Structure 1
Amino acid sequence: MRRVDVLVVGAGLAGLHTARLLAGRGLDVLVVDRRRSLATGIRTTGIFVRRTLDDFDLPGHLLGPGIRDVLLYPPSRRSPVRLTSERDEFRVADMAGVYAYARRAAETAGARVELGVRYAGPAAGGARLAGTEPVAARFVVGADGARSRVARDLGLDVNRRFLAGAELVHPVAPGAGRAPAFHCVLDPRIAPGYLGWVVDDGREAHVGVAGYPGAMRGGVRRLLDAFVAAGPPGHPAPAGPVARRGGPIPVGGVLRRLACPAGLLVGDAAGAVSPLTAGGLDPCLRLSELAAAVVAEYLRTGDERVLRRYDGGALRARFRGRLLSRRAFAGIRSPAVAEAAVAALRGRAGRAVAARVLFGDGSFPDVRPDAVGGPVTRSRSG
């Protein structure tokens, strides 16, 4: 049986970032992922918001041009509400490249990353890995996605509220001449409880839909195909190969019970996704930093009280407004109500609210470990 300090299950952005930070603190870290290539099974659109770009060292050569314009469309697709920021608010990443970059950073820090290795559950004194010898780990980090098996095996909370999402990605024809823009369609017929989108940054176009699975007649893939066939706003003619992505998006907020003496959860497994906007890249990086600090201190001291600092309940309290907004959003089930909702955004107050959600800094609180109590949260606007 191999022995390590920390076993990280899942080599997504949350798992690799946590592994890098733990290895940088001198811990023996092993990351496993059932995928044989990090370029496969990508589920995120890859939209990084300004706050993440400001606070984290991301590889600029893997990020598309800055996007400042957001257009909000009602079901009729007429008279969209246009919001324009004075700053670049979004950049779409080459996520296969970002994962490769994050893997190199983790390995440079000393972590080992093994692909094509599936976590198969707990074993006496460690974890079973399909096709290889078990691993004795002092601690397990579950970074294995929205439907985390690690969470179940550790007896931690699990996500129960999801959106189902799917999108097409294709390169934009050279010389199209469109300014980068983020088009959002509020239409419960194709995206009940959420929206359809087109993100065109002049290099690639991402066309997608997401909504509550139980309200999606025929399934998310059929609705995506119908959305594309109808000619969504700003949709350029495909040029070159088309990639499909999709998967569950947890939108119930950060889970309450995130840690126990055997392990903890990060990323989608922890519900670290903005309940309203469904953005998960910024939350996964921020929560991973707190997780790494807590794990390192716990393994150094053996004091279980350290784990209380990784308190999902305290973080969840910062999401009350967005959780309420998520419930209101979920209640928009008719085109007429959606038309009225977009119309309400045309006034000064409505535009201010929309700009605060889309351009604000409050999608996830700042978190940092505190030597005395729980996580210190420093909220910006939002």
Structure 2
Amino acid sequence: MESVDVLVVGAGLAGLHTARRVAERGLAVLVVDRRASLSTGIRTTGIFVRRTLDDFDVPDHLLGPGVRDVLLYPPSRRSPVRLVSDRDEYRVADMAGVYAHARRSAEAAGATVRLGVRFAGLDAGLARFAGAEPLAVRFVVGADGARSRVARELGLDVNRRLLVGAELVHPIAPGGGPPAFHCVLDPRVAPGYLGWVIDDGRHAHVGVAGYPAAMRVGVRHLLDRFAADAPGVAAVAGPVERRGGPIPVGGVLRRLACPRGLLVGDAAGAVSPLTAGGLDPCLRMSDLAAGVVVEFLRTGDERVLRRYDGGALRSRFRGRLLLRRAFAGIRSPLVAEAAVASLRGRAGRAAAARVLFGDRSFPDVAPTGRSSATRWADVQP
């Protein structure tokens, strides 16, 4: 029977990044994903914030132009609040390319990646798969999304507070003006969150997200309604791709690890509860998780797992959770109009800029991206 030190379930950014970090330290790592191709089933817009790009080596050729302008619209779409940074705050990535590059990086470090393999459960040190032989494993990393099967198999916490999002990707004409991030606060199409338009230099990403219980007509219907007159869209053709999926916004889960495994990425709730951004915390928590996995397997000391304590991580963002509750309570267009109007003054604009252009990361876990022996930028296509 085949055996590995670490099985990573899920070949998204969190899973591949964790696998690479663990494999760099000499352990045998296998990554499995039920998708046959990493270019299918993409759920994220792929917005990287400045702090992530400062700390991690995301290949520049996979990133669109820098975005410095953010426009915040009320439901009426009139008189948006415009925030302008003197630095590039966002860049939208070609996520299919990012996943392919992350896979090559993991494999260059020694990990094995197998696609089209569906994880079916755990049983006394064995991992089971649909239609395949079981595998002996020492440790399992759950990187299998917001509704994690691994979390349930390990008896760890699961995400309870979820938004559901959907997005259309439209080609745009080349040579347009500088890209901007358009955000619409309108509970009629995005209850508890917002609608957005942002471009990556080649495509416009048009999306909405909100609480499913409040989306009575369905997220796809609301997305089509929003896209019909969304601000900032300069599409030259119909959508070439639809994306969507659940977004955990309850914060990092409290119980993330046990002697049999741990959770990373969306499975761990590693998404900002306020902005619903997940790429930055995904990379930072994956770095932390990889170090914990390696030390635990080498020492057998269960106290090592306490370093990956969700309760301690949650304590660092109580303010974000409170703001998430306030955001979720905006269900009236009139209240949304008033909320955007409150941002027009100096104090309101400063508060909005602090959220949208802030230097703090979530969670505040020191990255090891630039000191790693194998950086993303060192692995060529």
Q: TM-score, normalised by structure 2?
A: 0.95
Please list the CA deviations of residues 247-305 of structure 1 after superposition, one character each: whole Å capped at 9, or x if unmatched: 00000000000000000000000000000000000000000000000000000000001
Q: Tell me the equivalent position of 1:311.
A: 309
Shift of 1:237: 2.7
- Measured in 2, the distance between the counterparts of 1:306 and 1:219 equals 44
Q: Aligned to 1:144, what secondary structure does the other structure show?
A: coil
Q: Which has the higher contact order (CA 8 A, sep 6+)?
A: 2
Q: Tell me the equivalent position of 2:376.
A: none
The 8 Å contact of residues 168 and 244 in structure 1, kept in 2 or not, is answered as yes
Identity %: 84
Q: Aligned to 2:32, what secondary structure does the other structure show?
A: strand
Q: Tell me the equivalent position of 2:341.
A: 343
- Measured in 2, the distance between the counterparts of 1:22 and 1:249 equals 26
Q: Tell me the equivalent position of 2:43.
A: 43
Structure 1's consecutive aligned runs of 4 or more residues displaced over 6 angstroms after TM superposition are none
- Measured in 1, the distance between the counterparts of 2:195 and 2:366 equals 34
Q: Aligned to 1:255, what secondary structure does the other structure show?
A: coil
Q: TM-score, normalised by structure 1?
A: 0.95
- Measured in 2, the distance between the counterparts of 1:160 and 1:238 equals 39
Q: Please, which of 282, 292, 299 is the counterpart of residue 297 of structure 2?
A: 299
Please list the CA deviations of residues 191-215 of structure 1 after superposition, one character each: whole Å capped at 9, or x if unmatched: 0000000002432100000000000
- Measured in 1, the distance between the counterparts of 2:178 and 2:209 equals 25
2:121 maps to amino acid? G
Give runs of aligned pairs for residues 96-245 of structure 1, distance below 5 A: 96-175=96-175, 177-229=176-228, 231-239=229-237, 242-245=240-243
1:188 maps to amino acid? P
The 8 Å contact of residues 171 and 235 in structure 2, kept in 1 or not, is answered as no
The 8 Å contact of residues 250 and 273 in structure 2, kept in 1 or not, is answered as yes
Q: Aligned to 1:268, what secondary structure does the other structure show?
A: helix
The 8 Å contact of residues 70 and 184 in structure 1, kept in 2 or not, is answered as yes
CA-atom RMSD, angstroms? 1.1
Shift of 1:113: 0.1
- Measured in 2, the distance between the counterparts of 1:200 and 1:178 equals 11
Segments of 5+ residues of structure 2 without an aligned counterpart are: 368-381
1:198 maps to amino acid? V
Shift of 1:129: 1.2
Shift of 1:239: 2.6
Q: Tell me the equivalent position of 2:373.
A: none
Please list the CA deviations of residues 315-364 of structure 1 after superposition, one character each: whole Å capped at 9, or x if unmatched: 00011000000000000000000000000000000000000000002340
Shift of 1:368: 4.6
The 8 Å contact of residues 181 and 201 in structure 1, kept in 2 or not, is answered as no
Shift of 1:115: 0.1
2:149 maps to amino acid? R
Q: Tell me the equivalent position of 1:17.
A: 17
The 8 Å contact of residues 179 and 201 in structure 1, kept in 2 or not, is answered as no
The 8 Å contact of residues 16 and 103 in structure 1, kept in 2 or not, is answered as yes
1:356 maps to amino acid? R
- Measured in 2, the distance between the counterparts of 1:202 and 1:150 equals 37
2:264 maps to amino acid? V
Please list the CA deviations of residues 14-67 of structure 1 after superposition, one character each: whole Å capped at 9, or x if unmatched: 000000000000000000000000000000000000000000011100000000
Please list the CA deviations of residues 114-151 of structure 1 after superposition, one character each: whole Å capped at 9, or x if unmatched: 00000000123211011211111100000000000000
Segments of 5+ residues of structure 1 without an aligned counterpart are: 370-382
The 8 Å contact of residues 172 and 203 in structure 1, kept in 2 or not, is answered as yes
Q: Tell me the equivalent position of 1:263.
A: 261
Aligned pair in 2 of structure 1 residues 84, 368: CA closer, same or farther (>3 Å)? closer
- Measured in 2, the distance between the counterparts of 1:329 and 1:368 equals 29
Aligned pair in 2 of structure 1 residues 150, 60: CA closer, same or farther (>3 Å)? same
Give runs of aligned pairs for residues 354-373 of structure 1, distance below 5 A: 354-368=352-366
Aligned pair in 2 of structure 1 residues 246, 197: CA closer, same or farther (>3 Å)? same
Please list the CA deviations of residues 79-118 of structure 1 after superposition, one character each: whole Å capped at 9, or x if unmatched: 0000000000000000000000000000000000000000
2:16 maps to amino acid? L
The 8 Å contact of residues 197 and 208 in structure 1, kept in 2 or not, is answered as yes
Q: Tell me the equivalent position of 2:278.
A: 280
Q: Tell me the equivalent position of 1:376.
A: none
The 8 Å contact of residues 68 and 85 in structure 2, kept in 1 or not, is answered as yes
